[in-house]
Chain A
Amino acid sequence: MKYAIETHDLVKVYDNDFKAVDNLNLYVENKTIGGILGPNGAGKTTTIKMLTCLIPKTGGEARVAGFDISKQPDEVRNRIGMVPQLVSLYNDLTVRENVELCADFYNVDQKIKDKKIDDLLELVDIKYAQDKYVKNLSGGMQQKTSVVASLVHNPDILFLDEPTVGLDPTTKRVLWDLMVDLNDQGRTIILCSHDMYEVDKICDNINIIDSGKVVANDTPQGLKDQLLHNLEENNRHIRETILKLEQEGIDENREEINGLKSSLTDESEKITVMVSNINEDMVNALEMLDVVNDVKTMGNGRLNISLKRSETSVNHVITSILANGGNIASIKTNDPTLEDVFVAITAKTRKEIKNGN
């Protein structure tokens, strides 16, 4: 089985004729961590509800763990676990009682149930709190309990919907590590989140959904590279148009040429270099380099440098600083983030919808 999740033209239309999912084609490879991103109202939650057999589809096909969600819903349910955003545990039951309840609802073999629960409670480090009421636990511990309740039947696929919302950074990291560990054990993880850092950090592959469709699908780095590529392509196209207009007559097309020039996006590479002993000669030497557009001295030994994009640009900068006696403490590149990718892609989709395309 290549894909843990595969949908073909999946459609969901609600009673009020609102099409929440519109011919969605989503693929998540088996035993990977797949991220699902999308703006609010994009159709993520509806998609998850269909994939977890909570609501019926209106059209198309979807298979989860190799089983059809409409024809084999119980096979699907047996192979998936879900950690919802809303903790949704019984507050007046203890941690262990909540997990036992889920184990019995998943028909876990009574002979292995106790050991399984013990192992999972230990895995997420809440066994010491197993007899505490859920209502008396912190948000992080409640979420850990929710994870255990979702894993008690040993599912192949684990869905997590905004699992770290409202948690402190330390608990977040514990849950991220847990997701990676579960993936290493051979489980497929489907992570729905608005936390771009979280998705960037742990996901192997990302599907961005907007207006009920998959509008981008790649690795986190692939999406960022794609953004840069699109930016360069767009600038190249604008420059060609400007050149053509200039050839036709600068005066006649001045207004249009100026408009096009202002729409050019800054495609330079920006880096921050921490140098312990910045001096004037060093800065002058950097400004003289062909690959450097601009150098700004920011204080505290920080240089913000704008470069022309090339494979050797950073090498030239390092060589120049060292040649002027500089001690480089660190270099940080300011590449596009996943958030930049998300904003660019969803803005483009919204623009297309507005224009009726």
Chain B
Amino acid sequence: METKKVWWMIKKDLLTLWRHKVQFVSLVLFPILMIALCGWGMGGTVENTPVVIVKQTTGDVTDQVINAIKADKTFEVKDILSDPDEAKRMVDNGEVRSAIILSSNFEDEGTRNAILYIDSSDQMTTQMVIPTTQRIFASLSEQIEMSKISSLNRNVGFFEATSQSIKLQINKIYGDIEYIDYLLPGVLAMTMFMSSMLGLGNSIAGERERGELARLFMTPTSISSVLSGKIISQLIREMIQAIILIIAAMIIFNVVINGSLFLLFLVMLVSVLCFVGFGMMISATARTQEDYIQIVMPIAMPMMFICGVFFPKETMPWLLEKLSYFLPLTYANDAVRAVMLQGAGIGSIAMDLLILLAFTALFFVVGVVRFNRDI
């Protein structure tokens, strides 16, 4: 008898799932998305890091260096320049992650110097690019010295020769970044994002489900008034949460914020506004909190992997990298990281802020237009 009851419960739940299309589609799509993104995005290999090479002389050794860098999967050579300052500017502006600057007398034996000018705020890339560059230069040095030894028919120790052939100087423009320093901006952006999403779910879809919103919408009150109140309250909640997170990181892990605290709050404010707008747009037509969660999770979870929270987006497959430019978390993450780690000013992150504001406007307009007064 009890078995029959248990069977009925199983049958009922499965039938409910089958008949509730939103839940069913989410159930199927979510694991596919997660495994695909983890497989592609979290493979553990940093590839296609954008780099520029500064070539100030011509010659065989220079060509060998450039070809070796181009051949390595870690790098994607964006340009070959002649001006070191232009290359450094590109790294400073975040157009590329690093610049490999070959000295003006690179073809002269004994004075072959190279500088790896790298954006160390991206800890993961730094950890991959520095040893890879060192390996390439060591290998080339070995080849040069071996050919020299062959020609001179001398028996000189390999390691001694290697160390003297090409001298590589590493210049980390933001110094040595601790893992917590690197992680905090991403965690901050992600926390604001997830918290805004879930908070809005309860605030709008939950109240809709419980009939509380219907009571408000039966009064002579516009949809935008009700939503504005909800957005502001959500904004306050998320800002408090973000401030607590920063203070905790500063006290517990001695995290230092290199940029302006005011600018950081501005970035956080714009980001939260954008995320709240996104949540509002989703909740505009979700009848229940469960529906809302089922719609939001398959969108929110992949965003965390695609948008550079844990891994540089440049290392993603082409399609995912391009997709990240259509997602607001990318710009929030970039701006927070730029202010906290690079000490960026308003000019450096203006584009990120403008894009976030454009997303916000879009989400709000679509959300208000699609919002349904009905319970």
Contacts and interface: CB of A to CB of B under 8 A. Distances in A.
A54 interface: yes
B375 interface: yes
A107 B225 CA distance: 13
A102 B217 contact: no
B33 to A, nearest CB: 28
Interface string A94-111: 000000001001110000
Contacts of B212: 88-90
A49 B210 contact: no
Contacts of B178: none
A77 B218 contact: yes
B211 interface: yes
Contact of B214 (A77, A84, A102, A105): A84
Given A49-B374, A54-B374, A86 B210 contact: yes
B374 A106 contact: no
Interface string A68-81: 00000110011010
Nearest to A81: B218
A92 B212 CA distance: 12
A7 B286 CA distance: 30
Contact of A54 (B210, B220, B221, B373): B373
Nearest to A75: B220
Nearest to A49: B374
Given A49-B374, A54-B374, A55-B373, A88 B219 contact: no
A91 B219 CA distance: 19
A77 B374 contact: no
Given A105-B221, A106-B219, A88 B374 contact: no
B219 A105 contact: yes
A77 B219 contact: yes
B219 A55 contact: no
Contact residues of A: prevailing secondary structure: loop
Contact of B210 (A88, A107, A149): A88
Interface string B276-290: 000000000000000
B214 A54 contact: yes
A86 B218 CA distance: 14
Nearest to B209: A86
A77 B374 CA distance: 14
A228 interface: no
A89 B216 CA distance: 10
Contacts of A106: 219-220
A78 B220 contact: yes
Nearest to B217: A54
A117 interface: no
A291 interface: no
Contacts of A105: 216, 219, 221
Contacts of B218: 52-54, 77, 80, 82
B73 interface: no
Contacts of A149: 215
Interface in B330-375: 373-375
A52 B211 CA distance: 14
Interface of B: 210-212, 214-221, 373-375
Given A88-B214, A106-B219, 10 more contacts: A53-B218, A53-B373, A55-B373, A74-B220, A84-B215, A88-B215, A102-B219, A105-B216, A107-B220, A149-B215
List of 4 A-B pairs having minimum Cβ-Cβ separation, nearest first: A88-B211, A105-B219, A86-B211, A74-B220
26 contacts: A49-B374, A54-B217, A54-B218, A54-B373, A54-B374, A55-B373, A55-B374, A73-B220, A74-B220, A77-B218, A77-B219, A78-B220, A82-B215, A82-B218, A84-B215, A88-B210, A88-B211, A88-B212, A88-B214, A89-B212, A89-B215, A102-B215, A102-B219, A106-B219, A107-B220, A149-B215
